[in-house]
């Protein structure tokens, strides 16, 4: 699953390439990704055509495009969903001007997306982004295409935003926006105090300046659940999945089964800060190079993957102390940890654990 840094990379790309355009037409090649759309494909098309896209916004792993009628196009990438932009050049509409100066492997970042025969950036979990030349007009697994109005500087007569999804777990739907409970902006990318009505249960994420960290700490410390489960609870803080939870726990030297209520306030806050730092680093690495909108099936942080300290490293040496890392399953998810740096709590009878010799 893509986690916060990967989704933020996609959001920044959407802000740069898609915001300010109008939806000129909708092609639904496969209606299954629209399963959450009330009224199905017809309603999806009707509600999008003619609408201008005013912002690309993210809270945690939730991503939406604000529309000029006060509603939003909500995008879920699932395990394998990708959003790809065609026929654009970098132009107005970005809310992240730094993007312009950091376009990764492309010299000026201005033209390669716009040239239908040009390369795009391929981001995968296991290797550095590379330019690929696989731009058939209708890529395999293309499910939905939004035709978008042209902007000055575009190479052609319009652009397109494609949802490509191999495993069909992602989806799109048009949804009402609802006010935020605290009156602060709904998420990264917009100052509007709004978020999709079906996402109001999602807490602010660890990189959100409006996150009430004290409240998140209090909720964690009130729980007997394991701290890894708490860190991944999108109702406490959002955006953290299995990868960054393992990384944050390793940095904070905490085993994932440590009950929340056993943590002191400084330790709990330290865990949140450590996890936020890992995600910021992943974003700094990935965010400067992710230009095409592509999240890998495993979502493992683009080429930040090679810098991971814990996730997927069971059986390998701890990079801090040299002990052999272990893996176990917590609440159905793998947990890689260093048995020396991250002392496993005794007992833990309230948490179900199935040990594995080595786990991913």
How far apart (Å, rounded) are the C-alpha atoms in residues 140 and 266?
49
Q: Would you tell me how many other CB atoms lie within 10 Å of the CB of residue 316? A: 12
Query: Which sequence positions are flagged as catalytic?
Result: 2-3, 61, 333
Output phi, psi for 165, to 5 deg: -150, 115
How far apart (Å, rounded) are the C-alpha atoms in residues 285 and 117?
27
- Shortest distance, CB of residue 146 to Zn ion, whole angstroms? 48
Closer to Zn ion by CB, 143 or 326: give it.
Answer: 326
Closer to Zn ion by CB, 6 or 328: give it.
Answer: 328
Residue with tokens 């802000």: 15
- Of the candidate residues 26, 274, 283, 341, the single one contacting Zn ion (CB under 5 A): 341
How far apart (Å, rounded) are the C-alpha atoms in residues 122 and 257?
36
| Residue 321 binds to Zn ion (criterion: CB under 5 A) | yes
- Shortest distance, CB of residue 230 to Zn ion, whole angstroms? 22
Closer to Zn ion by CB, 125 or 338: give it.
Answer: 338
Angle between helices 4-17 and 265-287 (to 10 degrees): 40
| Residue 320 binds to Zn ion (criterion: CB under 5 A) | yes
- Shortest distance, CB of residue 320 to Zn ion, whole angstroms? 4
Sheet with strand 142-148: strands edge to edge: 23-28, 142-148, 159-165, 81-86
Closer to Zn ion by CB, 222 or 323: give it.
Answer: 323
- Sort strands 171-179 and 120-122 into parallel, antiparallel or unpaired: unpaired
Q: Which stretch binds Zn ion (CB under 5 A): 73-81, 133-141, 180-188, 316-324?
A: 316-324
- 3-class DSSP state for residue 79? coil
- Of the candidate residues 18, 56, 338, 351, the single one contacting Zn ion (CB under 5 A): 338
Q: Which stretch binds Zn ion (CB under 5 A): 210-218, 272-280, 298-306, 312-320?
A: 312-320
Window 214 to 233, contacts with Zn ion (CB under 5 A): none
Output phi, psi for 196, to 5 deg: -55, 140
Enumerate the β-bridge partners of residue 329. 334, 354
Q: Which stretch binds Zn ion (CB under 5 A): 20-28, 39-47, 172-180, 319-327?
A: 319-327
- 3-class DSSP state for residue 266? helix
Closer to Zn ion by CB, 132 or 323: give it.
Answer: 323
| Residue 318 binds to Zn ion (criterion: CB under 5 A) | yes
- Of the candidate residues 340, 344, 345, 348, the single one contacting Zn ion (CB under 5 A): 340
- Shortest distance, CB of residue 254 to Zn ion, whole angstroms? 12
Whose CA is closest to 136, among 116, 153, 155?
116
Q: Which stretch binds Zn ion (CB under 5 A): 173-181, 222-230, 270-278, 338-346?
A: 338-346
Which residues of the chain form contacts with Zn ion (CB under 5 A)?
Answer: 318, 320-321, 323, 338, 340-341
């Amino acid at each position: 699953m893509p986690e916060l840094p990967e989704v933020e990379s996609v959001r920044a790309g959407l802000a740069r390439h898609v915001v300010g355009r109008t939806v000129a037409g909708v092609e639904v090649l496969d209606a299954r990704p629209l399963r959450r759309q009330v009224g199905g494909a017809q309603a999806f098309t009707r509600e999008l055509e003619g609408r201008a896209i005013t912002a690309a916004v993210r809270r945690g792993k939730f991503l939406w495009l604000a529309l000029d009628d006060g509603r939003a196009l909500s995008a879920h990438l699932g395990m394998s969903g990708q959003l790809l932009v065609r026929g654009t050049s970098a132009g107005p509409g970005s809310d992240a001007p730094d993007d312009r100066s950091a376009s990764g492997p492309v010299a000026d970042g201005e033209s390669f997306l716009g040239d239908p025969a040009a390369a795009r950036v391929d981001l995968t979990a296991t290797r550095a982004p590379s330019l690929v030349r696989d731009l058939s007009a209708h890529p395999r697994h293309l499910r939905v295409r939004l035709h978008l109005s042209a902007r000055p500087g575009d190479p052609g007569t319009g652009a397109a935003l494609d949802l490509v999804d191999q495993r069909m777990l992602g989806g799109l739907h048009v949804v009402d926006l609802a006010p935020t409970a605290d009156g602060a902006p709904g998420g990264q990318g917009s100052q509007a105090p709004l978020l999709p009505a079906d996402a109001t249960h999602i807490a602010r994420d660890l990189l959100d300046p409006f996150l009430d960290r004290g409240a998140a700490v209090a909720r964690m410390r009130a729980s007997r659940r394991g701290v890894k489960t708490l860190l991944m609870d999108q109702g406490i803080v959002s955006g953290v999945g299995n990868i960054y939870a393992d990384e944050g726990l390793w940095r904070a030297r905490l085993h994932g089964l440590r009950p929340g209520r056993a943590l002191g306030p400084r330790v709990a806050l330290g865990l949140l800060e450590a996890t936020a730092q890992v995600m910021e680093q992943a974003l700094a690495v990935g965010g400067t190079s992710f230009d095409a909108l592509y999240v890998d099936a495993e979502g493992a942080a683009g080429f930040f993957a090679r810098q991971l300290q814990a996730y997927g490293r069971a059986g390998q040496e701890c990079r801090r102390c040299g002990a052999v890392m272990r893996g176990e399953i917590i609440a159905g998810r793998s947990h890689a940890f260093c048995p020396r740096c991250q002392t496993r709590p005794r007992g833990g009878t309230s948490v179900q654990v199935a040990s594995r010799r080595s786990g991913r």
